Amino acid sequence: MRNSSRRKYIAAIATGASTGLAGCFSNDGGKLTLDSRPVLGDPDAPVTMVYWSDYQCPFCARFDRETLPRIKSNYTDSGDVRVVLKPIAVFGVDSRRAAHAAHCVWNDSPDSFWEWHHNIGQQTTRDDVDRNTGWANADSLATLTDDISGVNSNVVRTCVENKPHTTKLTTDTDEGKAWGLEGTPHFLMFSETPDSGTRLSGAQPYTRFANALDEQLANST
């Protein structure tokens, strides 16, 4: 990833992390677990946007690069929307390794998480990186983590080796399927309860997200 692009992303995202999220819903679509997942924004925001992502998904990388900073600027910074990330493994072993690492980084260094998330998610957009070639093995992820201030690369290496979040990855994948997940990225936006929410899949234009978030905000008042 080019340094200028990364700097712009850091400026847009870096101040939005929060650690206070908790919640678990059970509605028509099924159970939806939110606690102990990475979150961007105010944990008490009236609208929740759940984001299922895979670190080898190019459309997730595009969303992170082009759309998420606009959502943060227009909805998250104002306290209206919280974004809850559910990293899952659709594309294979390197996706799974990166998803484990994501949870460990969130637990250990939440203030640096979103910069780390963006850096890792952009790797497979490079011409010299292919899926499931080991780019997300323990040593490679630790090396990539060294580029991010505030994140301990040894935490990432140990996490990838020990795979402590297998249950979370399974839970988030199964819950995603219950809420319409067929691929990544997948989104569920809601105010009161998930079953009254709006679902979007794929790299949709920003206006689709803005319209759905505006509708949910109107329903929350």
Each residue's pLDDT tens digit, 90-118: 999 999 999 999 999 999 999 999 999 99
Kindly report the number of other CB atoms within 10 A of residue 194's CB atom.
24
Nearest to 162 by CA among 134, 138, 133: 138
- Beta strand 81-87 with 47-53 is parallel
Indicate the domain borders of the chain. Answer: 3-37+59-220
Give the model's confidence band at 209: pLDDT under 50 very low, under 70 low, under 90 confident, else very high.
very high
CATH 3.90.420.10 fits 3-37+59-220, yes or no: no
Asked whether 71 and 213 are in contact (CB, 8 A), the reply is yes
pLDDT of 4 > 60? The answer is no
pLDDT digits (tens, 9 = 90+) for 120-173: 999 988 888 899 999 999 999 999 999 999 999 999 999 999 999 999 999 999
36-51 average pLDDT score: 96
Q: Which of 69-78, 81-90, 189-198 has the lowest mean pLDDT?
A: 189-198
Share of the chain above pLDDT 90, in %: 79
Give the confidence band of 26 by pLDDT, cuts at 50, 70, 90.
very low
Q: Is this structure's pTM higher than 0.85?
A: yes
CA distance 221 to 16: 23
Q: Rg of the chain over CA atoms, in angstroms? A: 16
pLDDT at 61: 95
Average pLDDT, the chain: 88
